[in-house]
Amino acid sequence: MSKYFFILFAFVGFPFMVYGADLVGDKTTTEKGVVIEVINEVSAKIPGTDVIGIEQTLEIQIIKGEEKGKILQIVNDYNIFKSGDELYITHNIRGEDGFESHIVSDAYRIPTLVLFTILFIVLVILIGGMQGVRGLLSLMGSLALILFVLLPSITAGYSPVVISIVVSSFIIILGSYITHGFNKTTTSAVIGMIVTVMVTGVLAYVAVHSAKLTGLSSDESVFLNFNSRGQIDVVGVLLGGIMIGLLGVLYDIAIGQAIAVEELHTIAPHISKFLIYKRAIRIGREHIGALVNTLAIAYLGASLPLLLLFSDSGTEVVQIINREVFSAEIIRTLIGSIGLVLAVPITTLITVYVLFRSKSKADKKVIEKEMEEIKNHSHSH
């Protein structure tokens, strides 16, 4: 009889227990403090490991938050602090019994971020001049589109893939025209980039689904999935991230190709479309070699701690590569590189047809004459 009572309690009583637990949940707030004094600093093992770390006992005054003015003593093994350092503290109040705890959650990094942001802006303006100012305006517009259009739209439940393509297109249009002005060369680059992004989006969709990627290879993706209760398509977010991440380098190569075609056409307007296309592709090939290498190395650099972790694990290389955390980055790199490679012929072809006017009979005669001279010159040798 007791067995059946337990089963009945599990199905009927447990939901009410869970619901009751939610009513007395923990309260967590973040407050800002300043280190008054480092009371003690010793070397100690990190709990559960054989790793030796630094453990400090800090006297901290809260300078912003609910407990402003309060002085606390907190044991810290997160980072090394000294007197006068500002930091963030997580204040937790346990719901079931009101027990309070304080832990160091992060260093205060805003002054450093502001300093290097100002340095970046000053150098861009001093060295880049008006073009640098336009580049900064373009960057601000791109960030605004991502923060106020892309993120809210994905959060609202719209398809991350569709939204990413739309926002990417607007970033391309806005950034290109602000930086390089309204002209045929810029328009050619814009069309080339939008076409490349669309093609890349299709390839990314096929690659991600073929590899059965879940989009949950990182902690932030897992937290996003739980916080949104599964309402956000994390696979779509992965696809969108691939396309957004491609934009910076894609912008560079597309504008470069469009300007190369323009310069070749300006210096030799009588040369045929096909010949200009061949010469511009030759320039693009050199560009591809450098940018593909740059993209791959950038991703490897970002994954360096992970590479070091697995390199000493004794696991086979094939198994390591097959893990989603690596497979996702490999596919991201490959799709991005494919997009860069495709951008060269696509943008070059579009620019050739946008910039070139129809060849007149006079132009054809000039071309025929020059080709004959080249032929005769070759025979003379």
Q: What is the pLDDT of residues 142-189, one digit of tens each?
A: 899 989 998 888 888 888 888 888 898 899 888 888 888 888 889 999
> 255-301, pLDDT tens digit by residue?
889 999 988 888 887 788 888 898 899 888 887 877 777 767 776 77
The CATH number that applies at residue 62 is 2.40.50
Same domain, 219 and 77: no
Domain assignment of residue 379, yes or no: no
pTM above 0.95, yes or no: no
* Domain assignment of residue 80, given as a range: 27-108
Same domain, 98 and 209: no
Domain assignment of residue 14, yes or no: no
Domain assignment of residue 171, yes or no: yes
Rounded to whole angstroms, what are the CA distances from 251 to 39, 296, 345? 53, 17, 14
Instruction: Give CA angle at 46 (94, 31), nearest 5°.
Output: 40
The CATH number that applies at residue 351 is 1.20.1640
- Between these two residues, 95 and 281, which has the higher pLDDT value? 281
DSSP assignment, residue 60?
E
Domain assignment of residue 340, yes or no: yes
- Residue 76 Rama label (left phi>0; alpha psi -120 to 50; beta): beta
H helices present in 181-233, as ranges: 184-210, 219-227
Same domain, 43 and 136: no
Backbone angles phi, psi at 229, to 5 degrees: 55, 35
Q: Is 40 exposed, middle or buried (0-12, 13-18, 19+ CB in 10 A)?
A: exposed
